[in-house]
Amino acid sequence: MNSASRDPQVVVEVLSEALPYIQQFSGKTVVVKYGGNAMTEDTLIDSFARNIVLMKEVGINPVVVHGGGPQIGELLGKLNIESRFINGMRVTDAETMDVVEMVLGGLVNKSIVNLINQCGGKAIGVTGKDGAQIRARQLHVEQQNPEHQASEIIDIGHVGEVESISTDLIEMLTERDFIPVIAPIGVDGEGNSYNINADLVAGKVAEALSAEKLMLLTNVAGLMDETGEVMTGLTTAQVDGLISDGTIHGGMLPKIRCALDAVKGGVQSAHIIDGRVPHAVLLEIFTNAGVGTLITDTE
Ligand X SMILES: Nc1ncnc2c1ncn2[C@@H]1O[C@H](COP(=O)(O)OP(=O)(O)O)[C@@H](O)[C@H]1O
Q: Environment class of residue 193 by beta-carbon count within 10 Å: exposed (0-12), middle (13-18) or buried (19+)?
A: buried
Taking the least distance from each CB to ligand X2W, the nearer of 159 and 283 is 159
Strands (E), the chain: 29-34, 61-66, 85-86, 89-90, 123-127, 134-145, 150-165, 179-183, 185-187, 193-195, 213-218, 234-235, 269-274, 293-296
Residue type at 184 in one-letter notation:
P
Residue 271 contacts which entry, ligand X2W, ligand X, none (Cβ below 5-8 A, type-dependent): none
Stretch that binds ligand X, among 29-37, 57-65, 92-100, 152-160 (CB under 6 A): 29-37
Footprint of ligand X2W (CB under 6 A): 35-37, 67-69, 72, 89-90, 100, 159, 184, 195-198
Binding mask 225-264 for ligand X (x = CB under 6 A): ----------------------xxxxxx--x---------
The residue among 165, 158, 243, 241 whose CA lies nearest residue 203 is: 165
CB of 49 to ligand X, least distance (A): 18
CB of 128 to ligand X2W, least distance (A): 12
Residue pair 265/205 in contact by the 8 Å Cβ criterion:
no
The residue among 118, 210, 129, 194 whose CA lies nearest residue 161 is: 194
CB of 257 to ligand X2W, least distance (A): 14
Residue type at 166 in one-letter notation:
S
Taking the least distance from each CB to ligand X2W, the nearer of 100 and 124 is 100
- For 257-272, the DSSP string reads HHHHHHHHTT-SEEEE
Contact call for residue 186 and ligand X (CB under 6 A): no
Taking the least distance from each CB to ligand X2W, the nearer of 196 and 277 is 196
Residue 89 contacts which entry, ligand X, ligand X2W, none (Cβ below 5-8 A, type-dependent): ligand X2W
| Residue whose C-beta lies closest to ligand X2W | 67
Other CB atoms within 10 A of residue 90 CB: 21
> Is 68 labelled as part of a ligand binding site?
yes
> Is 69 labelled as part of a ligand binding site?
yes
CB of 55 to ligand X2W, least distance (A): 20
Taking the least distance from each CB to ligand X, the nearer of 61 and 92 is 92
Distance CA 239, CA 216 (A): 16
Taking the least distance from each CB to ligand X, the nearer of 131 and 251 is 251
Residue pair 243/186 in contact by the 8 Å Cβ criterion:
no
CB of 85 to ligand X, least distance (A): 10
The residue among 105, 118, 97 whose CA lies nearest residue 68 is: 105
Which residues fall in the annotated binding site for substrate? 68-69, 90, 195
